[in-house]
Structure 1
Amino acid sequence: MRGNHTQTKFILLGITESPRAQTPLFVLFLLIYIVTLVGNVGIITLVRVSPSLHTPMYFFLTQFAFTDICYSTVISPRMLADLLSEDKTISFTACMMQFFTFAFFAAIECHLLAMMAYDRHVAICQPLLYVTIISSRVCWQLVASSYLLSFLSAIIYTWCVFGGSFCGPNHIDHFFCDVSPLLKLVCSDTHSSEMIIFAFVTINVVSAVVVTLLSYISIIRTVLRMCSAQSRARAFHTCASHLMVVSLFFGTAFFMYLQPSSSHRSLDKVVSIIYTVVTPMLNPFIYSLRNKEVKGALIKCRRRLFNHRQLR
């Protein structure tokens, strides 16, 4: 997969070159990473121990939380280490593996968001058929197919980027190995690679967005036909948290990857921080704070824990 290259290592320029800013940024991003891990592990644990949450909706949510953990872990530990280290070199193989795993989990997130939208569509528009359409077997099949498609896409992305010749500068103007800064270092013609990457990103991102949009158009039509104002409010409230996550993830993805590489600018680092570091931290809170079922399950768990301590 390495292609005809001469570089054996790269140097990540990081978020900032200011020594004064590095320590405060390290503390900030370390706290964000810890909150990300605690929040997403908390969601997974809560769903597993709460029988009321053993539904397809929360099955997909636990898969999403697991992906957020992996997605963030691919980026954050290396970024934190570089903020405190003078040596920011990364080997060719390590850079390639970071890029591959990041692309893999990012693609999975796209598919999971589409699955969660489809799940809400069936629950609201076809409630009588929900158990039949979104069965446990179907859930596992959807997740397995997502992992397979994401794995194949990540291999293609990685081959397109690292299959070229790296014979010039080795400074990556970013805090992780991403598409645009890496392609700028390739000596050979990258036009065909960029077109292939653009096509596959479009397939993964745009197809997920289309499924999500069609699902919510159908949901809105169904909700507006409901006679009860309370039923309409409950349906919209159920979908609100998912729409917030979709907007954050796909909004930044469109900005970063569905534009020509020549138009990328310094703002890209800020946007990259939002979808690689901040969004995985926010997702558990968006789903828990705006979801009555999750809050109810959390209250029950606290009561059980409190009663257990009293008995002891």
Structure 2
Amino acid sequence: MTVIVFGSANADLVFTVPDLPAPGVTVMGQDVKTFPGGKGANQAVAAARDGARVIFAGAVGRDGFAEVATAALRDAGVDLSRLAVPDAPTGCASICVDAAGRNQIAVAPGANALARAGQLEDAILSPGAIVLLQMEVPPDEVAALIRRAKARGARVVLNLAPPGELRVEAMRAVDLLIVNEHEAEVLASRLGCAPDAAALRGVLGAGVAVTMGEAGVVAATAAGEVAVPAFSVTPVDTTGAGDCWCGVLCAALDRGLVLEAAMRRASAAAAIAVTRPGAASAMPRAAETDALLSPLRP
């Protein structure tokens, strides 16, 4: 069993600031640190640290930021044999984090724009695999991989983040679509429906999970609707919370957990991640998530 992640890998420059900057306003930061990031890499690390065998396909440049972008992937034991290294700069994100843990992010995609679905061969897109995708690589490549993975029998999970333009037919083909509240509103406006999981599923026909931060997560599938509350923590940095949730959810599904149990595990892992600075580097190990979940077990 394998979780295959096709997505972005970035170097994240994280600025700690008292308040998020308003337009035209310069805010003096208290600190700056460099972390590995990118939604695809973050999710791959989260899944691997939760115990899954993970293959990552994406692209980094030939510059110093490439080592930063791949450090957590290598540390987590992610298979990087499908990683491309084109003649382009490594993707980079500038992240401001305020005293309440809220963030403001700008991303330059760099080599991520050259990631191609063809980096993954058909043979590994098998019925035993989960394919996890996001929207920080070209939408046409995302759509192409969805088509191929479904044709080969793999289970497809799409995190529509950021909410870029992806053809509706591609979204209808996935097994589970994951969006946060903002992404749900953008998608609902496009589809002409309410921004809740049931309404989105009604239009798309695919399973839909809407993550809502402190309000938890609701998923609507053919089996019905499932709601899982969030864990109560004091956030330090919420940058990688959604990525952690997606990666751990897929790792849990890969191990055979039913959706509700997988959602609960993903929520526990995300709660741990937001208590730490950074994105990929903040993803918890399986034992840490087990410890948070243990009081909830009979």
Normalising by structure 1, report the TM-score. Answer: 0.27
Normalising by structure 2, report the TM-score. Answer: 0.28
Using CA pairs below 8 Å that are at least 6 residues apart, which structure has the higher relative contact order? 1
Which one has the bigger strand percentage?
A: 2
